[in-house]
Amino acid sequence: MPGRHEQAPHNDADTATKGEERNYTVRAVERVCSILNLLQESVEGVSLIDVAQETELPKSSAFRYLWTLEAHRYVERDAGTGLYRLGLGFVGMQSRHLEVLRERARPWLEKIRDEFGETVNLAILDGDHVVYLDVVESKQRVRFASARGFREPLHATALGHAIASRLAEERVRELVAPSTAGYGREPDLNSYLTDIDDVQRLGYATSDDGDGRCVAAPLTGTRLPVAIGISAPAARFSPTDAGKAATRLLEVTKEITVNPIPEQRGSPRT
């Protein structure tokens, strides 16, 4: 714009040539990509030594890369094992993955709804809340149902418990710590972690608030923090019914997978 003065941006690499600066940038990006690719290929997680060897970096440099990625939630570290995994920062960037998940899960949600006559939900972790990706409502006149996109605190639902059972304990502590005003008392952390241990042992979570009863199981075969749940009035959905539903959910969650996602004709690989 005429008459407007703009100062040239400061270049931290004042002493480097343009070629040297460009090469440095490429190397840094390639190392980040190598780290993320390595983490993507591992379900259990990888060690700092593995990352250093893959990137041909000193351990101290590899640690700085991982620390930066962890600070932005693209990487998370298991405090117990010291292993690194892909973090939740990628969840919001995987809209296509989520749509494929919803498409694959929908027939199963409808099938479970028809088998038990109750509402079936598909939910994912978003921050410290679960978000409903899809809801297949019961055909009963009296039913429990949430809208697609509805959000609830992680600790407040069976779906949240199921999702938390697949997260590192350190991550669960971070997610449960924030205030949960408007949803009753904050959960006692030690009690909550004990509940999560039970979910890990059983493979599913249940909740009962007096009026309603829910059962949920984490979706296996994917790194996304997702779960499927059934919710119904407690008067119609007994603990025995919930147990039968849990067994069925454990069967179904093994059938639905989004990793790897098949290529769509005409779509680039991501």
In 3D space, the residue among 225, 224, 217 whose CA is nearest the CA of residue 253 turns out to be 217
Which structure tokens are listed for 102?
């919803």
Residue 159 token pair: 């779906």
Residue pLDDT, tens place only, 46-63: 899 999 998 889 999 999
99-112 mean pLDDT? 87
Which residue in this structure is represented by tokens 């693209």? 74
- Give CA separation, 16 vs 27, 29, 95, 128, in Å: 15, 18, 40, 44
Model confidence at 93: pLDDT above 60: no
Question: With 0-12 CB in 10 A as exposed, 13-18 as middle and 19+ as buried, what is 90?
Answer: middle
The rounded distance, in Å, linking the Cα atoms of 128 and 153 is 6
Q: Give me the residue spans of the domains in the chain.
A: 18-86, 92-253
pLDDT band at 209 (very low <50, low <70, confident <90, very high): confident
**Structural domain 18-86, CATH architecture:** Orthogonal Bundle (1.10)
pLDDT higher than threshold 90 for residue 228: yes
Stretch 112-125: mean pLDDT: 93
pLDDT value at 222 more than 80: no
Q: What are phi and psi of 134, to 5 degrees?
A: -155, 150
Q: How does residue 43 score in pLDDT terms, banded at 50, 70 and 90?
A: low
For residue 9, pLDDT beyond 80? no
Give which of 124, 85, 70, 81 is closest to 102, Cα–Cα.
124
120 within 8 A of 112, measured Cβ to Cβ = yes
* pLDDT tier for residue 112 given thresholds of 50, 70 and 90: very high
CA 234-240-246 angle, 5° bins:
95
CATH fourth-level superfamily of 92-253: GAF domain (3.30.450.40)
> Per residue, what are the HEC states of the chain?
CCCCCCCCCCCCCCCCCHHHHHHHHHHHHHHHHHHHHHHHCCCCCECHHHHHHHHCCCHHHHHHHHHHHHHCCCEEECCCCCCEEECHHHHHHCHHHHHHHHHHHHHHHHHHHHHHCCEEEEEEEECCEEEEEEEECCCCCCCCCCCCCCEEEHHHCHHHHHHHCCCCHHHHHHHHCCCCCCCCCCCCHHHHHHHHHHHHHHCCEEEECCCEEEEEEECCCCCCCEEEEEEEECCCCCHHHHHHHHHHHHHHHCCCCCCCCCCCCCCCCC
- Cα 6 to Cα 81: distance, rounded to the nearest angstrom: 51
